[in-house]
Amino acid sequence: MNSEVKVFIVDDDESIRHSLRWLLESAKLTVEDYPSADEFLLHVDTDHVGCLILDVRMPGMSGLELQQALLDRTSTLPIIILTGHGDVPMAVRAMSQGSFDFVQKPFNGPQLLERVQSAIEHSRHLLQEKSSRTEIQERYNLLTPREQQVMSHIVTGNANKVIAFDMDIGLRTVEVHRHRVMEKMQARSVADLIYYHLQIKPN
Amino acid sequence: MCFRYLYFILFCLFSFSIISTVYAQLPALSAEQQQPNPAKPVINIGVLAFRGDDYAAARWQATVDYLNSRIHEMHFKLHTLSLPQMKQAVADKTLSFILTNPGNYIELEVEYGVSRILTLQPERGAGPKSTIGSVIVVRQDRQDIQSMADITGKSLMIVSKQAFGGFQVAWLEFKKRGIDPFTDFSALKFSGFPMDNVAYAVRDGDVDVGILRACVLENMIFEGKIKAGELRVLDPQPFDDFACQSSTRLYPNWPLAKLRDTPNMLAKRVAQVLLELPEDSLVTWAGNHAGWTIPMDYQPVHDLFRELQIGPYEWLAKTSLRQLWERYWHWIMFFVMALVYGAWHMARVEHLVNVRTQQLSETNVQLKQEIKERLNAEHETRMRQTELAHVSRISAVGELASGMAHELNQPLSAINSYAQGTTMRLQADEISTAELIDISQHIIAQAERAGTIIQRFRSFLRKEEVACTDVDLNKAITEALELFASEVRKRNIDIELQLANRLPPVCAEIIQVEQVVLNLLRNAAEAMQAIDNKTRKILIRSEQQDNVIRVSISDNGPGMTDDVAKHLFDPFFTTKPDGMGLGLSISHSIMEAQRGQLELIEHGGQGVTFTLTWPVYRGEDLNEQ
């Protein structure tokens, strides 16, 4: 995880890259720009707080292809698609694939900055979400297999007696396991535990 | 047109003259026919007095007396006449019969229609047939004149030009020998009748040569007027049945002829009586002949006159229109008809020519009309083509509209970003003058870029006639490529440029060159749709080769079939599902209008190559445009 805020620009048009850099830097943002999608993928760690401003029409790997590649890497970086007038259907497709926003050229500065800011916020949120999810998973991984079994029984709403019966163990044993699960998962209530359970991938 | 009327007038004149002649003729003829021969008791007989009146009277009075003794109901009277008198008397119709020499007879026969009823028998037991000839005489002692060949340059005497035996017969002999009696003698003298004078003049040495009627010499010797041996006959001809000497061929003797109005019955009576006259009688003796016989053939006399172009054949020319008409009316009619036919024919030809000319000029007018229509049609076609080119450009622009929007979006977005960023930095007071200047330069550059794009599209849209300006082909290619840039990106095409460094300008219009190049680029891009994304490639090459500047555009698409290649430049031929089939056709026209050429030089499996060629032009070529 990298908490440094960065705005990435991928556009084949040098003037666009240069002018956007000027604009974004005027807003005190750190900017990195790349003339092609390939360059970007080669050099950038995508787990950044920030966003990607991406031109859909480019030689080589297109904007949509880059978006797909980022999705495959579970990148949380929000993407702002820059489109020309004729590219609206393409932008719609990009949005349906999970792009954060699209801006139609010619854009105006304040509007773009606003989108960039909200994208950064979104990125921050996504990244936090992603990190909390990782934490819960780590806690979960600390549970013994028996405790994980008990946890899945708890989140389905079974009473201790039902669990003891189902697992063919003593009621007391269930109570001990239950306490350990709640403790290890740092859950204060069953509702918490259910919430955490939804965030994890069962082994 | 005038000739037609002239011919018509001529035709009328001819018709009128013919008709008037015929009408004038008819009453005259009928008057003559109806005029009754006055039944006079006196029958006048005219006799030619060629040796004087006395001689003639002495010779022929006996014959007239014989007639009076045999035919009682009328009185025959003898008139001795000279040649002119004879002609006048016949013309006046004061005579019923004439007795004259063959030449005079032929004249009168031709002119007044006298007809022979008897021919005089030769005198003194001479042969029965031809009895008139001429003798050409010289003095016996003229040794320098041996034949007719010797007489040119000498002096000649004849009795008269009209004398038949005394001149004309000999004249023919002269003519046969190439001698002209009127020019080839030192002198031509006329003695006048009697003919004896000629003999005397020769004998006396007054002239070198004389001409006498055959037998005159013998008679004079017989009568003792000339001594035998005093005169010599030139070129005497041998005749078995003729007693006298003659230098010429012989002609029939004198005829007795009746005038046209003399009744046949009377002529028959006279002929009968004279035929009954015995050969040897007082009458024949006095007339110095051997009686009468049936009329002889006078054709030789005709021939002679025709040959000499005298007598009736000379008189013919001097005759009156009426006499001419009487004799030759059928020939005249034929001639006039031929003339009329000729005139009619010429008029008709003239008319036909006029008609044809009229038709031709009408055809000509039609042709001119057709040419005009064709020119109009061609003009219209050109107009249509220009319009089509315009439409094609518009549709091309339609296709490129999104591309243009994208092109414009880039500088506009850049400008906006620059301006916005600058504003923000100014508000935060975080900008140096150097930065401001730098960014301003960027803004200006982007604004200019936008302006260039708009300018390019605007001139692309403009409909213009072909103009001849210096066009840098490399520049045209580069600009066309800029228009095509978005397409290149979209389709992921690799553009390879091989542009010649020092290319002379061509005479063209840059927008049109760009249109053609763009058209070819678009075709190439579409052709390569079928092949793999990564290998799409267009090679654009410009080069100069001798007097030709060539731009070639090659793709590495799948190529095309020969059949497609053959019809490639045909209008409305297309292989694209939604194509109009006009792009290449119009490009071809554009190149032709620029005196250039658009050719397909490669269309196999390796891809398609088009070449655009222009002639290298010099300054004077530019002025010719």
Q: Which residues pair with B76 in a beta bridge?
A: B43
A123 with A187, same domain: the answer is: no
Q: Which residue has the higher pLDDT, B424 or B10?
A: B424
B579 with B545, same domain: the answer is: yes
What CATH number should be reported for the domain holding residue A159? 1.10.10.10
B116 with B262, same domain: the answer is: yes
Within a domain: residue B8?
A: no
At residue B159, what is the residue type?
V
Q: Which residue has the higher pLDDT, B456 or B44?
A: B44
Mean pLDDT, range B401-427, rounded to an integer:
84
Domain boundary residue among A129, A152, A176? A129
Within a domain: residue B346?
A: no
Percent of chain B with pLDDT over 70: 83
Q: Is B293 helix (H, G, I), strand (E, B) or coil?
A: strand
Its ipTM equals 0.74
Closest CA to B283 of B511, B440, B171, B123: B123
CB distance A25 to A32 below 8 Å:
no
- Print the SS3 string covering B453-508: HHHHHHHHHCCCCCCCEEECHHHHHHHHHHHCHHHHHHHCCEEEEEECCCCCCEEE
Within a domain: residue A134?
A: no
Q: Which residues pair with A52 in a beta bridge?
A: A8, A79
Could you report the per-residue pLDDT of B505-534, keeping only the tens digit for each?
888 888 888 888 988 988 888 888 877 766
Domain boundary residue among B292, B319, B346? B319
How many Cβ atoms are within 10 Å of B336's Cβ, its own excluded?
16
- Domain count across chain A: 2
Residues of B within 8 A of A110 (CB-CB) are 420
Could you report the per-residue pLDDT of B196-212, keeping only the tens digit for each?
888 888 888 888 889 98
Substitution target from B402, B410, B444, B493 for chain A, most A beta carbons within 10 A: B410
Domain span including residue B98: 36-121+253-319
A109 with A150, same domain: the answer is: no
- Domain count across chain B: 3
B578-610 residues labelled b (16+ CB within 10 A) or e (exposed) = eeeebbbbbbbbbbebbbbebbbeebeeebbbb
Give the A-side interface with B, CB within 8 Å. 12-13, 15-16, 18-20, 22-27, 57-60, 82, 84-87, 105-110, 112-113
B314 with B246, same domain: the answer is: no
B495 with B596, same domain: the answer is: yes
Residue of B nearest to A106 (CA): B413
Closest CA to A178 of A201, A194, A154: A154
Cα–Cα distance, A110 to A50 (Å, whole number):
17
Residue B140, C-beta contacts closer than 8 angstroms, at least 6 positions apart? B229, B230, B231, B232
Residue A171 tokens read as 């009621």
Within a domain: residue B533?
A: yes
B114 with B245, same domain: the answer is: no
Q: Which residues pair with B293 in a beta bridge?
A: B119
Q: Name the pLDDT band for B536 (thresholds 50, 70, 90).
A: confident
What CATH number should be reported for the domain holding residue A79? 3.40.50.2300
- In this prediction, residue B71 carries a pLDDT of 87
Residue B194, C-beta contacts closer than 8 angstroms, at least 6 positions apart? B50, B51, B52, B55, B159
Could you report the per-residue pLDDT of B268-303, keeping only the tens digit for each?
888 888 888 887 788 887 877 778 888 888 888 888
Closest CA to B90 of B142, B41, B153, B48: B48
Give the B-side interface with A, CB within 8 Å. 401-402, 405-406, 408-425, 428, 430, 439, 442, 445-446, 449, 486, 489-490, 492
B113 with B194, same domain: the answer is: no
Within a domain: residue A136?
A: no
Domain span including residue A116: 2-129
Residue B238, C-beta contacts closer than 8 angstroms, at least 6 positions apart? none
The partner residue sitting opposite A109, judged by closest CB among B420, B445, B490, is B420
Lowest mean pLDDT among B97-106, B322-331, B367-376, B466-475: B322-331
A42 with A117, same domain: the answer is: yes
Could you report the per-residue pLDDT of A107-142, keeping only the tens digit for each?
878 888 899 999 999 988 888 888 888 888 888 888
Q: What share of chain A is helix, strand, coil (3-state, %, to 5)?
A: 60, 15, 25
B478 with B506, same domain: the answer is: yes
CB distance B312 to B305 below 8 Å:
yes
A78 with A164, same domain: the answer is: no
A14 with A95, same domain: the answer is: yes
A25 with A105, same domain: the answer is: yes
Q: Name the pLDDT band for A3 (thresholds 50, 70, 90).
A: low
Residues of A within 8 A of B409 (CB-CB) are 84-85, 105-106
A101 with A155, same domain: the answer is: no
Domain boundary residue among B209, B236, B251? B251
Q: Which residues pair with B251 in a beta bridge?
A: B132
B310 with B243, same domain: the answer is: no
Domain boundary residue among B203, B230, B251? B251
What CATH number should be reported for the domain holding residue B189? 3.40.190.10
Please state whether the peptide bond connecting residue A202 to the residue before it is cis, i.e. omega within 30 degrees of 0.
no
